[in-house]
Each structure stands twice: as structure tokens, then as C-alpha cells.
Amino acid sequence: MPQHNLSEKISPDKSIFIALLILIIWLPMPLASNRPWAWAIMAIWILILSFIWLKHFYYGRVKFTPVFYHAKYVLILWSLWLIYIIFQIIPLPYSWVQWISPKVASLQFFIPHTITLSIEPYATSISLLHSICYILLFMLVLLLVNRRKRLRWLAYSLLLSGLFQAIYGSMMTLSNLEYGFFHQKIYGLGVATGTFINRNHFAGYLEICLAIGIGLLISQLSHTSNTTWKQHIKSLLSWLMSNKMQLRLSLVIMVIALVLTHSRMGNTAFFASLLIAGIIGLILSRHAPRSIIILFVSIIIIDIIIVGTWFGVEKVVNRIETTRMITETRDDVDIYSLNYLQDYLWTGSGLGSFYSTFPTYQGHDIKGFYDHAHNDYLEFAVETGIIGLLILIAIMILALKNALIAQYRRHDSLCRGMAFSATMAMIAIIIHSSVDFNLQIPANAATFMIILALAWIANFLPTVPAHKKRSKHKVK
């Protein structure tokens, strides 16, 4: 084959895509990238990949994908989000701030001419850089996952990352070695945390990876029905010998790790999202095969009864049952955060400013320092106000809409499976975020941005018709 023909078949952005997959696996490893040095690695990594893609675009080697064009409305919303955060940190006339946010003005009355809407401009600037990196990652996924093969590689990378974390976390707990990321654990002893610090955030990450794995399994299920016992046995044997069995075992291992976290809302969010997304998927699927129903039932029954019996699901249940309002301080934090919200209702106190603002509202009955609210909705609300929260809600609604439409209209099995994954992962994080701050953890937030992008990819990724595939095989 001539050398120029070979070079034409090699995508100029292939190396960028491979680097993106490595980044996906790397993100949770260094303490969920929740340290300044680990976050800096993530940010530099994303910025370099974005710069290289732009360089290829400048020389005409790559172009915007159809999925990217279809995502124009959400890209506009993300742009509004960045503009809004910039608006929080630019100096404004004191009279303007006094009209927009009287509470902020009252705290900075000693500054004569200009002040910012954010009471912590430095923290908000850092959070702005976070937002830029997350949005760039979102765009990179839309631009690089431009064919079915890459979509599958993206899904398997997330699955592999979750599987590694599950195996590592389970081994550390069951063997009593209790090591995290190259250090002996101080917190979370006796429960699975993987390379995370907090078991709840580890559970949140597993929820996303489990959703991806279930979507992959759905995409590989047979849509043919067996009518005789011989056909049933033959199908069962072929399933046991296929890659589907390995995929199913991977899901079991991740469920074991999820149970070993003893995270109440993590386990609740997973099984609730599976049930809700499963019902929605069956309703939207006009010809749901029996195998999908069997899969959902097996996950719920086998994973809860068999896996849970051996690995301690009763401890999770006991934690839920013994939880009392007296011992659960997170509810008190939410109550005091509502007072905080009243003072910064429309524009917030500045993205990233919760840690410095909440202590002024914290009651004497709450001990310790809270750098985050144990509720993502409240934290975004108090930091960015109703305006910022509405932008994020609009983005979430658009993503869910695309994932649901893809489940209804797409005929491609992989796209339908990934649409289910996106739906389930979003529902899981929506539930979990009511009592935790997964979206403040870089690894989880970045992975969730990939899930959001997956909704548009599942809905709009072009697929090659069967007759074109046959014609390509004929041409040599």
C-alpha cells in the first residue's frame, strides 16, 4: 500500500484521543485529583490537549464534528457560566454592587471605588480555572469521540478505571493493608476508598463507572428471543463463554467495592438510579428484549442478595437505620446554609467562597470546619446564587433530554447503551448530590462532564449504514 494512502487513514487527532483515555484513568488515582498538585497536573494535561487540537484545526487537519454542532446550545450555556463567574470577580462600581448584592457591599464598605461581587476573588478565580478545564474536557470529548469505535474505547476506559479502583479498594479493605495512593490510610479505615480519601466520593465515582458498564452490557445483549429449551441452553452457554461474562464479572466486582464503602447514599443512589433508569429505558424501548429485563433483575437480586450477604450490605442497611437527626450534622449544615443563601440569593458570594463564608453562619452546635456543604445544590446556590444555579440546571435538563431521546430514537445498540449509561449516571449523581459534594471533587466532576458529553454523543454520533459497510469491504 502506498505511504500516502496509509497516512490518510491515520487520524491526526489519534494521539490526542489516546492521551484523553489515559487522562480518564489517571484522574481518580492521585487522591481523586483533589490536591493542588494533582489538580495542576489535570489542568495542564487538558490545556495541552486543547492546544494541540487547536493547532491541528488551524492547519486544517481536524474539524468540528456533527455532535459538536448539535451541542451548540449547551456550549452557549457553558459560555454564559464562564462569563457569569468572570462577572463575579471583575471590579464593579460600589453603587452597582450595593444594588445587585447589598450583603456583599456591606462587607466591603471600606473600599472606596470598586469592589467585586465575590467576597473571595482569589478563590473564585481558582474556581474559574477549574470551570474552564472542565468545559474544555467536555468539548474535547465532543470533538474526539467522532466514531463508534472511539465511543466504545471511551466507555471501556471508564469501565477499566472503575474496575481498577474497585479491585484496589476491595483488596486494601479485605486484607487490612489499608493503603491509599502510596500512603497508609488515616481516614476511612475498615471501608473501601480506593485511591480516594472519602468513601462517599469513591462511591460516587463507582456509580458512574457502574452505569457505563451496564450500558456496555446492554449494548451487547441479543435482541433475538429463544422459543425452545435447546435454544435457551445454547444461548446460556454462549453467554458464559463470551466477553459479556467478563463484563458482568467486572460489574459484580464494582458492586462489591460499592458495598464495602458502606456509603449509605452511594448504595442508595446506585440501586435507585438503576431502577429508575431501567424503568425509563423499558418504556422508551419500543421492542425491549427479554434479555434486558433479565439483566436488570439479575443485577438487583444477585448483587444485593449474594454479593451483599458475603461483603456486608447489612452494615450499610444498619447505618441507614441507625442514622438520627441528632447524630447527623450535615442536616444542620444545610439549615445554616439556607440562612447563608438568603443573604446572597441572586448572585451568590462567589464560586469557591463557601469555606470562608459559612463560618459566619455556622451555629455553636456544629463542631469542626466545613470547606464544602454536604449538598451540591446548596453549595452552588450560595456561591453563584439563583442565576448560576439556573444555568447549571438548564445544562442538566438538556443533557437528560438528549440521553432520553437517544434511547427512544437510536437504532444503534452502542448509542442506545451509552444513552442508558448517561441517564443512569446523571440520576445517580442527582440523588447523591443531595447529601454530598461529589461535584466539588475534581476526578468526579471531570468524569461527570464526560457523562454529560456522552448524552450528546449517544444522540448525534453518526453511524455507518450496513450497506455502506458491505461496500467498503468489497473495495480493495
Q: What pLDDT, in 10s, does the model give residues 351-393?
A: 999 988 888 888 777 777 788 888 999 999 999 999 999 999 9
**Phi, psi dihedrals of residue 41, rounded to the nearest 5°:** -60, -45
The C-alpha cell that represents 312 in the structure block: 456486608
Residue 288, pLDDT > 90, answer no
Q: What share of the chain is helix, strand, coil (3-state, %, to 5)?
A: 70, 0, 25
Sequence-distant (6+) residues with CB within 8 A of 413 are: 218, 219, 220, 221, 223
Count of all residues that appear for the chain in the document: 476
| SS (HEC) of 20-72 | HHHHHHHCCCCHHHCCHHHHHHHHHHHHHHHHHHHHHHHCCCCCCCHHHHHCH
Has residue 444 got a pLDDT over 80? yes
Point out which residues pair with 93 in neighbouring strands: 114
User: pLDDT value at position 111?
Assistant: 61
Is the model more confident about 323 or about 381?
Answer: 381
Coil, helix or strand at residue 92: strand
Query: What is the torsion angle, in degrees rounded to the nearest 10, for the CA atoms of residue 148, residue 153, residue 158 and residue 159?
Result: 100
Distance (Å, whole) CA 269 – CA 429: 7
Longest dimension (CA), the chain: 85
Q: Kindly tell me the burial class for residue 468, based on how many C-beta atoms sit within 10 Å of its own C-beta (0-12, 13-18, 19 or more).
A: exposed
- Residue 281: strand pairing partners: none
Model confidence band, residue 344 (pLDDT cutoffs 50, 70, 90): very high
DSSP assigned state of 126: H
Q: What is the pLDDT of residues 110-166, one digit of tens each?
A: 666 788 999 999 999 999 999 999 999 999 999 999 999 999 999 999 999 999 999
Q: What amino acid occupies position 6?
A: L
Query: Per-residue pLDDT averaged across 233-251, rounded?
Result: 67
Cα–Cα distance for residue pair 41/34, rounded to 1 Å: 11
Q: Which residues pair with 160 in a beta bridge?
A: none
**Phi and psi (nearest 5°) for 261?**
-70, -25
Instruction: Mention every residue, 6+ apart, whose C-beta is less than 8 A from residue 462.
Output: 66, 147
Q: Is residue 327 over pLDDT 60?
A: no
Please state the rounded mean pLDDT for residues 243-266.
87
Q: Could you read off the pLDDT of 28-78 as tens digits, one per residue?
A: 999 999 999 999 999 999 999 999 999 999 999 999 999 999 999 999 999
- 474 has pLDDT over 50: no
Residue 244 pLDDT: 75
